[in-house]
Amino acid sequence: MGIAISDFSTADILFQLNTRFGPDHPLKEMVAIQKDFRVFSSKYSLKQAFRVLHIVPADFQERRRWFVFLELLKKYASDQKGVNGHDRIRSAYQDNLDSKKPLPVYTTTHLMSKDRRVKVTHGQPIIYEEQSYLVISIPTLAKEKGQATRAAKKRRKRK
């Protein structure tokens, strides 16, 4: 995420993911969607799954960059040897939603400078909850000061 989409869109996407895959009714709905449509099967990319589930930024330019970012995850490493970041996330959703006791999913980010891999763990990421979650953490680059302004100027020049 980081430099791919704005901070606002990143926060919005994380909110959408954490809400749609949250405990109780949202999770039950996602389990039913997975059972009926197999949106997280290897037949589909994350871009296709999130497009169908409408987990997208409201702004159409941001949406395009979000889809580019999802495809870029194929070049990210993951915490599983030989599995790229994109496939690790997709299969984590699939395995979890197909399991007998699916967990709610909490998506977060971590600094790429600390760990370049997509990580999938189990834990309690919300400190005031006892609920266990499947935790997906995506490495991001922090924006450099003025980077957003330079990127916007570059985009305007291309038009």
Give the pLDDT score at 5: 77
> Which residue has 């909110």 as its token pair?
15
Q: How far is the C-alpha of 8 from the C-alpha of 152, rounded, in Å? A: 15
Segment 19-31, tens digit of pLDDT: 999 999 999 999 9
Q: How far is the C-alpha of 30 from the C-alpha of 23, rounded, in Å? A: 10
pTM of this structure? 0.87
Compute the chain's Rg from CA coordinates: 16
SS3 assignment, position 140: strand
Give the pLDDT score at 141: 86
Q: Point out the residues of the chain with pLDDT beneath 50.
A: none
Give the pLDDT score at 91: 98
Residues near 19 by beta carbon (within 8 Å), at least 6 away in sequence: 26
List the domain boundaries for the chain.
Answer: 7-142
Mean pLDDT computed over every residue of the chain: 91
